């Protein structure tokens, strides 16, 4: 069997490797010629896939920028980005471009599976009509299904194999075909009735997280004003064995899904004269969090008699989550912009991100000491940083992740606690 994977990023490459490890021949397609050249040379551009793992299945792989390479594949899986435009509306240009390329090489009997996150109706209303320009009929001459990606970069406990795969086909036969495909690489396939159900399933999963993150971030701001320790509140609430799921406050949301997915549903809802005010409010709250965090840095500096302007501030961790170098929608970028706009001299340390091109900054070689900065703010708490040593050095620390909350230190300011008492 041969499977084509279009888009070889954080979603597509791990999936392609999983199929190769299952004994399937894989053709990888990407419009980035440098990425393709790197993969053909045996070098992985994705942190979750090591060069060694790639080399172990090299005989099952080929990579190309040419869609003709997947014309003989029994199934083709689309894993291209679906970002937001500058107006915070869905940008399907990568998806539609891939569909047009596939339509030119589509052959009877193929399965086309879409994994890119999108709004309900995209598979049926956008993808299928383009594919049918081939002269073939979807559901009759070829199969179509939507199966949302559920990749969480950096995780080792839930992988392609161990995360249940939701599948919704254009027809029952399409669902059966897609389920049979994914059963080769995952332990559980969850069948749903339509592509629209599968599309909305992915949005619900991430909107659930977005809303709850917004809730706890708003609570953190209230606790800050009331001088109540939000971390102690969350710890206590989490002891309830039912009816509560733990979410922690932080500097805002990042990544390829959480900051984007709610807007996909809001966009589609407006087509039906429905306004998802609850979802949009959560998005607004989360987008405002980095500005509030930058304000907290200024307030912390004031407590030691310093202004933001001219202060040396070091940001610890700039990727959107711990353990990876992924910068997509990272709240650290906005925090840096706010601090610089206020006149701070900003540096950063992140072992996973050697350079911030957009900011013209290069990571420090090691975490800052008291002589290196006036304030260190923990934005992303990478596990390979000694935060106790940082605090013990006497540097003013503003902690947006709560990793220092158990330390008895007067030089620590915690998000959502309202004072500097440990």
Q: Is the pLDDT of residue 382 over 60?
A: yes
Average pLDDT for 295-306: 95
Q: Is the pLDDT of residue 306 over 90?
A: yes
Average pLDDT for 163-184: 98
Enter the CATH code of domain 2-193: 3.40.50.720
Distances (CA, A) of 207 to 169, 202, 210, 259, 336: 23, 9, 5, 9, 26
pLDDT digits (tens, 9 = 90+) for 193-241: 999 999 999 999 999 999 999 999 999 999 999 999 999 999 999 999 9
Collapsing DSSP to helix, strand or coil, 415 comes out as coil
Residues 6 or more apart from 370 whose CB is under 8 A from it?
Answer: 393, 394, 395
Average pLDDT for 265-279: 91
Average pLDDT for 85-95: 89
Q: Find tokens 């708003």 and name the residue.
A: 218
Q: Which helix (H) or strand (E) element contains residue 61?
A: strand 61-64
Can 257 be counted among the known catalytic residues?
A: yes
- Of the ranges 19-23, 212-216, 371-375, which one carries the lowest mean pLDDT score? 371-375
* CATH T-level topology, domain 229-414: Rossmann fold (3.40.50)
Cβ atoms of 26 and 13 within 8 Å: the answer is: no
Q: Is the pLDDT of residue 20 over 80?
A: yes
Average pLDDT for 243-254: 94
Q: Is the pLDDT of residue 421 over 50?
A: no
**229-414 has the same fold as 2-193:** yes
Task: Please tell me which residue in 79, 174, 223, 257 is annotated as part of the active site.
Answer: 257
Cβ atoms of 381 and 320 within 8 Å: the answer is: no
Average pLDDT for 314-328: 94
In angstroms, rounded to a whole number, what is the distance separating the alpha carbons of residues 414 and 216?
14
Mean pLDDT of the chain: 94
pLDDT of residue 260: 84
Ranges of each domain in the chain: 2-193, 229-414
pLDDT of residue 419: 59
Which has the closest alpha carbon to 20: 37, 4, 42, 41? 4
pLDDT of residue 371: 83
The DSSP line for 366-386 is S---TTT-SEEEESS--TTS-
Higher confidence at residue 404 or residue 259? 404
Please state, for a pLDDT cut of 90, what percent of the chain lies above it. Answer: 86
pLDDT of residue 422: 43
Which has the closest alpha carbon to 348: 378, 385, 308? 378
């Amino acid at each position: 069997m041969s499977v084509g994977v279009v888009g070889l990023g954080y979603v597509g490459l791990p999936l392609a490797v999983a199929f190769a490890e299952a004994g399937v021949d894989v053709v990888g397609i990407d419009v980035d010629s440098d990425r393709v050249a790197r993969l053909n040379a045996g070098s992985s551009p994705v942190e979750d896939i090591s060069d060694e793992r790639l080399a172990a299945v090299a005989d099952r792989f080929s990579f190309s920028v040419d869609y003709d390479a997947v014309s003989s594949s029994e199934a083709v899986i689309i894993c291209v980005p679906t970002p937001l435009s500058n107006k915070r509306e869905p940008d399907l240009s990568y998806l539609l471009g891939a569909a047009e390329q596939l339509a030119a090489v589509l052959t009877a009997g193929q399965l086309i599976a879409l994994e890119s996150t999108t709004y309900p109706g995209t598979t049926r209303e956008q993808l299928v009509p383009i594919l049918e320009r081939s002269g073939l009929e979807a559901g009759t001459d070829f199969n179509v299904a939507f199966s949302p990606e559920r990749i969480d970069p950096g995780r080792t406990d839930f992988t392609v194999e161990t995360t249940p795969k939701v599948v919704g086909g254009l027809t029952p036969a399409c669902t059966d075909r897609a389920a049979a495909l994914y059963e080769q690489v995952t332990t559980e396939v969850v069948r749903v009735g339509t592509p629209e159900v599968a599309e909305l399933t992915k949005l619900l999963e991430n909107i659930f997280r977005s809303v709850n993150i917004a809730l706890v971030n708003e609570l953190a701001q209230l606790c800050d004003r009331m001088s109540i320790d939000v971390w102690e509140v969350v710890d206590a609430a989490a002891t309830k064995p039912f009816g509560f799921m733990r979410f922690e406050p932080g500097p805002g949301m990042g990544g390829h899904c959480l900051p984007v997915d709610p807007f996909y549903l809001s966009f589609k809802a407006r087509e039906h004269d429905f306004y998802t005010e609850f979802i949009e409010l959560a998005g607004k709250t989360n987008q405002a969090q980095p500005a509030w965090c930058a304000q907290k840095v200024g307030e912390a500096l004031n407590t030691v008699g310093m202004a933001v302007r001219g202060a040396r501030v070091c940001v610890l961790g700039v990727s959107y989550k711990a353990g990876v170098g992924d910068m997509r929608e990272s709240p650290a970028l906005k925090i840096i912009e706010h601090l610089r706009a206020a006149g701070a001299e900003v540096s950063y340390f992140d072992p996973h991100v050697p350079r911030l091109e957009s900011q013209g900054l290069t990571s420090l070689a090691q975490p800052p000491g008291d002589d290196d900065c006036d304030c260190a703010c923990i934005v992303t708490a990478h596990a390979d940083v000694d935060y106790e040593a940082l605090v013990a050095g006497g540097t003013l620390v503003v902690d947006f992740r709560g990793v220092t909350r158990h330390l008895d230190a007067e030089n620590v300011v915690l998000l959502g606690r309202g004072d500097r008492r440990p």
